[in-house]
Structure 1
Amino acid sequence: MKRLVWLMALVLMSNFALAADYAREKKWADEVVPGVVAGDPVYLEQPDGHKFLTLYTPAKDARAALIIVHGMGVNPDWGLIGVLRSQLPDRGYTTLSIQMPVLASNAKATAYPATFPEAVQRLNIAVDFLKAKGYTKIGLVSHSMGSRMSAVYMTGKPDAAVKAWVAIGMADRVDYRKVGVPVLDLYGENDLPDVLKNARARKTALQGKTGSKQEMVAHADHFFDNMDEQLVNIVSKYLDQQF
C-alpha cells in the first residue's frame, strides 16, 4: 500500500512539474504589454478560465489573418516573432501573435510535448477569435517549438479557415503529407542540428503537395539574427502566392 501511495505521489508530482507555468506567462505579459507599440494586447480565455495574452495587429484591407506562434519559453513579441507580427501587417496581413504554454525556465525541450494539448487548444481559440472578426482566410506562421506545436494542430483537425502554414525552424521529421494545406518549410543554413538533420525527411514529405516547398536561407541561423527584412520578404512572398 505504501508503495502504491508513493507511486501515485510521483505521478502527481510529475504532472505538476510538467504543467504550463502560468506565473511565468504572467511575468512575460507584465513585461511585454507596457512596451507594445504596434497592435493591441488582447486576452483570450480557455475553457478552464485561464486567460492568455495575444497581440492583435489588424491590417487595412487585409488579404488574410495570420496566427504567429513563438518558440520554447518565450513570448508573443520576442525576437523574430515580434518582427513578423509587427511587419507583416505592412504587407497586407492582420496578425495575432499568441502566448503559447511555457514551462519553467530550466525545462528542456523534451518536456514540452506535455504542453502540446493546451497549445492546440490555444490555436483553436485564436482561430475562433479571428473568425469572429470576420476573417475567412487564416494562416499559421510558427517558429521552433511553436512549429512543433503547430504540427500537432495541423496534422489533427485544423479549422477549415486555416489555408496555409509557414513552419520556420522545424526540428521534427513531421509528416507534411498529413497536412491538408500548402506548407513552406523554412530554415537557415546554420540552423540547429536537429533542424538540419531532419531537413531531407521533411522535404521528402512535401513532394507532390500543391503550393508547398522547402527553402533554406543562406547564412541564416535558427533565429534569423540580423536578417529581419529578408525573413519578412520570404514569408510575405510565399503567403501572397497562397492568399
Structure 2
Amino acid sequence: MLAGKRIGAWALSACLCASAVWGAADYAREKKWADEILPGIVVGEPVTLTDAGGRSFLGLYTEARGAKGAVVVVHGMGVHPDWGLVGVLRSQLADLGYTTLSVQMPVLAAEAKPEAYEKLFPEAAERLAAAVAYLQAKGYRKIALVSHSMGARMSGYYLVNHGNPPVAAWVAIGHSGQFKEPQNLKLPVLDLYGEADFPQVLEAAPRRAAALERIAGSAQVAVKGADHFFNGQESALLAEVRAFLDRTLASSR
C-alpha cells in the first residue's frame, strides 16, 4: 500500500481504469500534472499513496535529518504538490527540520468553480488520512497539516469528519471562509493569511478569530503586504509556519 520508491510508469495510469469510489474528480488531469512535474523534481522523492477506496495518488516525500516532526503539505484548488508556495513549503520546511509529505489532492476541470470542489471533500479526507498513515509508518508521531486555500478547506473537513485524526497541529493558509464545526477541532490552529489576501479570506477573518479563541494554543496572523499566494513574502510565510510548528509540536506528545 505504501511504496517509498521512485515512480517509473507512474501508478496513476492504473487509476484511470479502476472503478471510482467517489467518481467526481478529474483523474486524467491528475495524471497530466504528474507527468509534467515528476521529471523536474530535484528535492525529495515521489511516492505512491493509496486511499481507503484503493485509489493511488502522488506524494512528494522529503526527509529531514534529525526531524522535529513531520508535515503533510496540502495544495489549493486544481494544482499539484510542487506548485508555487506549496513547493516552497515542502522543500524549505525540510531544511528547517521537518520531514514533509506534499500530496496530490483531487482536482476538477480547470474551469470548475470553487463551490464545485465541496463534493471532493470526502475523497480529499481519505487522501489526507493515507498521508498521515504513511508518516506514521515511517515512525513519526508528531504530525502537522500545513494547507493552502482550498487545501485548507479540505483539511478542515478531514479534521472534523475523520474521527479525531492523529494530527498535532494545523496551519491554515489563506482559508477562504470560516471554520466549519470549530467545536470539533481538537488541536492548535494557526490561521495565517495575507494583509492583501482575497476578499473572502479577509471578510471571514473576524469569525475565524472568534472560533480560535476557544481552541487552546491557536492564533491568527495577517502577514503585512502579503497576497493570497505570498508572492515575494515566502520568507515571512516560512517564519510564521516554523514558529508555530516549533511551539506546538514541541509541546505535543
- State if a TM-score over 0.5 links the two structures: yes
Of residues 143, 146, 151 in structure 2, which corresponds to 1:146?
151
Letter in 2 for 1:177: Q
Letter in 2 for 1:131: Q
Of residues 124, 137, 162 in structure 1, which corresponds to 2:167?
162
In structure 2, relative to structure 1, the CA distance for the partners of 1:51 and 1:93 (3 Å cut) is same
CA distance in 2, matches of 1:228, 1:63: 21
| Deviations, residues 156-209 of structure 1 (Å, cap 9, x unaligned) | 235553100000000121143321000000001110111011000000001132
Of residues 105, 112, 134 in structure 1, which corresponds to 2:110?
105
Letter in 1 for 2:216: T
In structure 2, relative to structure 1, the CA distance for the partners of 1:166 and 1:70 (3 Å cut) is same
Listed as ranges, the matches of 1:13-162 within 5 Å are 19-157=24-162, 160-162=165-167
Shift of 1:217: 0.7
| Deviations, residues 3-62 of structure 1 (Å, cap 9, x unaligned) | xxxxxxxxxxxx9xx710000000000011111111000011234432111000010111
Number of residue-to-residue matches in the alignment: 227
Asked if the contact 1:21/1:102 (under 8 Å) is kept, the reply is yes
The Cα RMSD (Å) is: 1.4
| Unaligned residue ranges in structure 2 (runs of 5+) | 1-19
In structure 2, relative to structure 1, the CA distance for the partners of 1:43 and 1:141 (3 Å cut) is same
| Deviations, residues 55-99 of structure 1 (Å, cap 9, x unaligned) | 000101111100000000000000000000000011110000000
Asked if the contact 2:195/2:225 (under 8 Å) is kept, the reply is yes
Q: Which runs of 4+ in 1 moved over 6 A?
A: none
Letter in 1 for 2:117: Y
In structure 2, relative to structure 1, the CA distance for the partners of 1:64 and 1:154 (3 Å cut) is same
Q: Alignment partner of 2:168: what SS?
A: strand
Q: Identify the structure with the greater helix proportion.
A: 1
Letter in 2 for 1:220: A
CA distance in 1, matches of 2:90, 2:33: 17
Asked if the contact 1:60/1:92 (under 8 Å) is kept, the reply is yes
Letter in 1 for 2:55: H
Higher-Rg member (1/2): 1
CA distance in 1, matches of 2:24, 2:165: 30
2:186 equivalent to 1:180: yes
Q: TM-score, normalised by structure 1?
A: 0.90
CA distance in 2, matches of 1:39, 1:188: 28
Asked if the contact 2:223/2:236 (under 8 Å) is kept, the reply is no
Q: Alignment partner of 1:211: what SS?
A: coil
| Unaligned residue ranges in structure 1 (runs of 5+) | 1-14
